[in-house]
Structure 1
Amino acid sequence: MHVRDLAGEAVAGVLARPLRSALTTLGTVLGITTLVVTLGVAATAGNQIVGRFDELVATAITVEVPGTTTGPPLVSWDAVERVTRLRGVESAAAVADAAEGTNLSVRSNDLVDPTRVTTQSLTVLAATPGLPEAARGRMTQGRFYDDGHVRRGDRVAVLGDEAARMLGVTRLDRAPAIFIGKHAYTVIGILGDLRRERDLRTAVVVPPTAGRQFGLRDVTRVLVNTSLGAAGLIAGQAPSALSPGNGDLLQVISPPSPTRARDGAQDDVNALFLILGLVSLVVGAVGIANVTLVTVMERVQEIGLRRSLGAARRHIAAQFLLESTLIGLTGGVIGAALGVVAVVAVSAVKQWTPLLDVRLAVAAPVAGALVGLLAGLYPALRAARMEPVDALR
């Protein structure tokens, strides 16, 4: 049998029962559509993660500074200025926190009132003036101290909003004072709305010159905020800028790569929905096998006539295999088209940029044809095994 004749017979067999062929194709269409939509939407959504990655997480860098028992500190207080000059750095601040500064007795007045709790155990920190920007917060009242306060050694303090509530400091217009141990400090501001370093809400922040009284002499960590996409570069440059020659002793805590997050999200979505697509393909394959087997049983006389006229077993098997492959191929083409349309529609609704792989659109029809080919193996072999005499009888 010529290949052209074989193809003509297969097409005629498929079109002889159009409604049955259409219903048989539906299973493959659903399976291929699910696969294309799954892979397309996962790739598109994963691509959006990079563009919409949480800016706070993607741009926050913390440099941990170990303490030294001998010699000068690894990072000086003025080293923050060198970091802020790096291209891509938006804000930075140096912070000193030590065991000596935790659970210090802080009270809002020097009077003993047995009816009120005026003394609290709070953490005292020393920081450079850029702390509000570095901690992604704002001054809810008053102001933060500046370089002038630091140079003069003024006894000023800034309270976290929770610390101010605990101490009963609600107004700053009368320059309230707090007492840290025996030392009085004027409260000039309240820091709140912190998106980073939330432990500052219950802390008392003083200038570095004042922090020496509480053992806060050396910088223990540096907070750095970068522009989106510059975190990796700044994470490599910041240690050298803070401590030239000793940068390898500093520990940099940098955000994870947005690309890694995108790949992880895409893998999770693929793993979840690929199962649905494979199940749909299996259902489609079972439908093709069932319908092809029924077709074989209905066309027993045709098979017997063809065999009696000289058709070989391979010709019969090839005809039914080609019919089932055509059904699978048709389902693959339609499913790929519907899947691409669905991905574009979802992207349009979400205002995303659709990300489609050309190889996926080409592979989907091939996958449909392969499903049809595998599904038609058993019916084709059963048709090929029929003896002409038995079939005609």
Structure 2
Amino acid sequence: MTGRQTRPRLTPARLSPREVVRVGATGLRNRPTRALLSALGIAIGIAAMVAVVGISSSSREQLERQLAALGTNLLTVVPGQTFDGQEAKLPAEAEAMIARIGPVTAVSATGAIRDAKVYRSDRIPKVETGGLTVSAARASLPGTVGATLRNGVWLNGGTGRYPAAVLGADAAGRLGIGRAGPETMILVGGERFTVIGVLDQVKLAPELDTAVLIGWPAATDLFRFDGRATTVYTRSQDSQVEAVRAVLAATANPQAAGDVSVSRPSDALAASRAANATLNGLLLGLGAVALLVGGVGVANTMVISVLERRSEIGLRRSLGATRGQIRTQFLAESLLLSALGGIGGVLLGIAVTTGYAAYQSWPTVVPAWATTGALAATVLIGGVAGLYPAIRAARLSPTEALVMV
């Protein structure tokens, strides 16, 4: 049996992912100084972006905390007037219904006790009331309105059932009480109460400064208190303050929403949102510039690498390396170079943010999207920047590459 014998066709060996990484890393190791400087350039750009985002985010977090202390998300609900000019009343279940509103994060209330007068002792003339008010208060009130104690303790489930009172800052001054204690007594509606706490000035609810606050159960037991709130304080998510305000009246009193008055959101909330929008635009612009600078650095490094390594490219092509393998090699070098610079830049940016925030006594905030986005964008930019040099290297023929050396 005769016939022409065909020579078996050789198929170039494929590079495994591990080999691709090893070949790409070899190119970087052979020129460590240039690789280090190129990675450093990328790292500085990425560090600048991460640091700007981190410092701005830390500053914004500090600003939001300060604005929160000003009550940007605090709304108050009080009864208005009926059609005939009489003072309206909130339903007994108003608090519970308001608490069911999804974006509402905290609810508390006070209930005015109209006929109770406050005196330092029974020797004070009846007409000298000092202009003080008496209100029943929920245990959650300080946390909702941001009240702090100058000294003593706040009402709780135990003390709220007994004749115990917490004084507002001005109320304590008018009564001549500087410190709470078991021996400090006052008269509230003819009943002796022990002063267990004194509040600091409450900036978000100044009406509490002249108030004598007692427990809800004690007010019900000792006075003719019907248990209805006269002021409901609510905290809600910043982004939903207007939406919550729109439904508060109807929620508090579904039968007569017109008889309910709701405070408007603080102007500081609008200022906070405007500042956030401006900062977001600034961060995006700076991030884009940093990534562009990093991409140009990678492209420049890889083009120079191709020009300097023609002999290596020619030798590899002569030994059987395919254009695809050459292209993969230089693209892998570009990606590794970008990844090293990106990781170093992220770590450096976090360190700068942490140090500056600690110096300013700010909370340290580095958004996850900034770090992951910086790494992803760096690798993407590195791949795009290294694509042209990789294609150019792959197009060099073995003879051309060796002759040009």
**TM-score normalised per structure 2:** 0.54
Alignment partner of 1:383 out of 393, 400, 404: 393
Contact 1:30–1:281, Cα closer than 8 Å, also in 2: no
2:23 and 2:237 mapped to 1: Cα distance? 64
**1:88 to 2:108 alignment:** yes
**1:51 to 2:65 alignment:** yes
Describe the superposition over 1:303-341 as per-residue Cα deviations: whole angstroms up to 9, x where unpaired: 111111111101111111111111100011101111222
Between stretches 373-382 and 351-360, larger displacement belongs to 351-360
Partner of residue 16, structure 1: 30
Describe the superposition over 1:49-106 as per-residue Cα deviations: whole angstroms up to 9, x where unpaired: 44322525544648796885xxx22635xx59999999634699xxxxxxxxxxxxxx
In the superposition, relative to structure 1, how do residues 129 and 57 fare at CA in structure 2: closer, same or farther (>3 Å)? farther
Partner of residue 338, structure 2: 328
**1:372 to 2:392 alignment:** no
Between stretches 227-236 and 320-329, larger displacement belongs to 227-236
Partner of residue 245, structure 1: 255
2:21 and 2:386 mapped to 1: Cα distance? 16
Describe the superposition over 1:28-48 as per-residue Cα deviations: whole angstroms up to 9, x where unpaired: 212322332344344444444
Aligned length: 280
Alignment partner of 1:36 out of 50, 54, 68: 50
Contact 1:88–1:230, Cα closer than 8 Å, also in 2: no
Contact 1:46–1:263, Cα closer than 8 Å, also in 2: no
Contact 2:79–2:231, Cα closer than 8 Å, also in 1: no
Contact 1:64–1:250, Cα closer than 8 Å, also in 2: yes
Partner of residue 178, structure 1: none
**1:312 to 2:322 alignment:** yes
Partner of residue 75, structure 1: 87
1:42 and 1:378 mapped to 2: Cα distance? 36
In the superposition, relative to structure 1, how do residues 26 and 81 fare at CA in structure 2: closer, same or farther (>3 Å)? same
What secondary structure does 1:75 align onto? Answer: coil
What secondary structure does 1:376 align onto? Answer: helix
Contact 1:66–1:249, Cα closer than 8 Å, also in 2: yes
In the superposition, relative to structure 1, how do residues 298 and 56 fare at CA in structure 2: closer, same or farther (>3 Å)? closer
Deviation at 1:9, TM superposition (A): 2.8
1:305 and 1:240 mapped to 2: Cα distance? 81
2:328 and 2:251 mapped to 1: Cα distance? 72
1:1-393 matched pairs, under 5 angstroms: 2-3=15-16, 4-52=18-66, 53-55=68-70, 57-59=72-74, 61=76, 68=83, 72-73=84-85, 75-76=87-88, 79=89, 88-89=108-109, 226=233, 245-248=255-258, 250=260, 252-255=262-265, 265-358=275-368, 360-393=370-403
1:301 and 1:288 mapped to 2: Cα distance? 22
**TM-score normalised per structure 1:** 0.55
In the superposition, relative to structure 1, how do residues 358 and 281 fare at CA in structure 2: closer, same or farther (>3 Å)? closer
2:286 and 2:30 mapped to 1: Cα distance? 32
Deviation at 1:277, TM superposition (A): 1.9
In the superposition, relative to structure 1, how do residues 266 and 346 fare at CA in structure 2: closer, same or farther (>3 Å)? farther
Contact 2:47–2:345, Cα closer than 8 Å, also in 1: yes
Describe the superposition over 1:128-186 as per-residue Cα deviations: whole angstroms up to 9, x where unpaired: 987xxxxxx989xx9xxxxxxxxxxxxxxxxxxxxxxxxxxxxxxxxxxxxxxxxxxxx
What secondary structure does 1:354 align onto? Answer: coil
1:364 and 1:230 mapped to 2: Cα distance? 29
What secondary structure does 1:88 align onto? Answer: strand
- Percent of aligned positions that are identical: 30
| Letter of the structure 1 residue corresponding to residue 396 of structure 2 | M
What secondary structure does 1:341 align onto? Answer: helix
In the superposition, relative to structure 1, how do residues 327 and 65 fare at CA in structure 2: closer, same or farther (>3 Å)? same
Contact 2:339–2:375, Cα closer than 8 Å, also in 1: yes
Deviation at 1:23, TM superposition (A): 2.1
In the superposition, relative to structure 1, how do residues 85 and 279 fare at CA in structure 2: closer, same or farther (>3 Å)? closer
1:263 and 1:327 mapped to 2: Cα distance? 39
Partner of residue 177, structure 1: none
Contact 1:285–1:375, Cα closer than 8 Å, also in 2: yes
Describe the superposition over 1:257-316 as per-residue Cα deviations: whole angstroms up to 9, x where unpaired: 999976764443232022112111111111111121111111112211111111110111
| Letter of the structure 1 residue corresponding to residue 319 of structure 2 | L
1:19 and 1:367 mapped to 2: Cα distance? 24
In the superposition, relative to structure 1, how do residues 262 and 342 fare at CA in structure 2: closer, same or farther (>3 Å)? farther
2:284 and 2:95 mapped to 1: Cα distance? 48
Structure 2 residue runs of 5 or longer lacking an equivalent are 1-12, 97-106, 113-130, 134-168, 175-202, 205-229
Deviation at 1:365, TM superposition (A): 3.0
Deviation at 1:380, TM superposition (A): 0.7
Contact 2:50–2:346, Cα closer than 8 Å, also in 1: yes
2:277 and 2:364 mapped to 1: Cα distance? 17
Contact 2:73–2:269, Cα closer than 8 Å, also in 1: no
In the superposition, relative to structure 1, how do residues 64 and 34 fare at CA in structure 2: closer, same or farther (>3 Å)? farther
Between stretches 22-31 and 371-380, larger displacement belongs to 22-31
What secondary structure does 2:262 align onto? Answer: strand
2:269 and 2:45 mapped to 1: Cα distance? 29
Contact 1:313–1:385, Cα closer than 8 Å, also in 2: yes
